[in-house]
Amino acid sequence: MAARPPGGGGSSEPDAIEFGIAVLDERIEEADVSFPATADELRDALGDREVPYDAKGRTIALGEALDQVPQTRFENETEFLDALYPVFDRKRREGGGFLTSLRDALPF
């Protein structure tokens, strides 16, 4: 996932802020992970680094996210990312309640 950063669109700002599955997908490519793989193998290959789960930069450790997934073996990258998506989505929704949701929906 990615979201446009706030601001006036100056040239020094990134085009988008990546979080969640997009960040994890990039880390998988960098680590040259092969599938099928177990959760432990993925944890070893990717480390227990923090993964941002929203555009505000809030994070969850990969190990903590994996602990919330009932599956322990993944046949391919898509299966792995699909299993983690609900964890990131739940964390985003728990993020800040009604006022945060309202503020996020406004264009300013």
Q: Evaluate whether residue 56 is within a structural domain.
A: yes
Q: Evaluate whether residue 39 is within a structural domain.
A: yes
Q: What is the mean pLDDT of residues 26-36?
A: 89
2-27 confidence digits (pLDDT tens): 444 444 455 555 566 788 888 888 89
Q: Evaluate whether residue 105 is within a structural domain.
A: no
56-99 confidence digits (pLDDT tens): 888 999 999 999 999 999 999 999 999 999 999 999 888 766 66
* pLDDT computed for residue 4 by the predictor: 45
pTM of the model: 0.71
Rounding to the nearest 10 degrees, give the CA dihedral for residues 47, 79, 84, 53: 80
Q: Evaluate whether residue 76 is within a structural domain.
A: yes
> Where in the sequence is the domain holding 25, given as residue range(s)?
21-92
> What is the domain count for the chain?
1
If you write DSSP's letter for every residue of 25-93 in order, what string do you get? HHHHHHHT--SSEEHHHHHHHH-S-EEE-STT--EEEHHHHHHT-S--EESSHHHHHHHHHHHHHHHHH
Q: Evaluate whether residue 16 is within a structural domain.
A: no
Asked whether residue 100 carries a pLDDT value surpassing 70, the answer given is: no
Q: Evaluate whether residue 102 is within a structural domain.
A: no
List all residues 6 or more positions away from 88 whose beta carbon is below 8 Å from its beta carbon.
1, 19, 20, 21, 51, 53, 60, 65
Q: Evaluate whether residue 57 is within a structural domain.
A: yes
Q: Evaluate whether residue 61 is within a structural domain.
A: yes
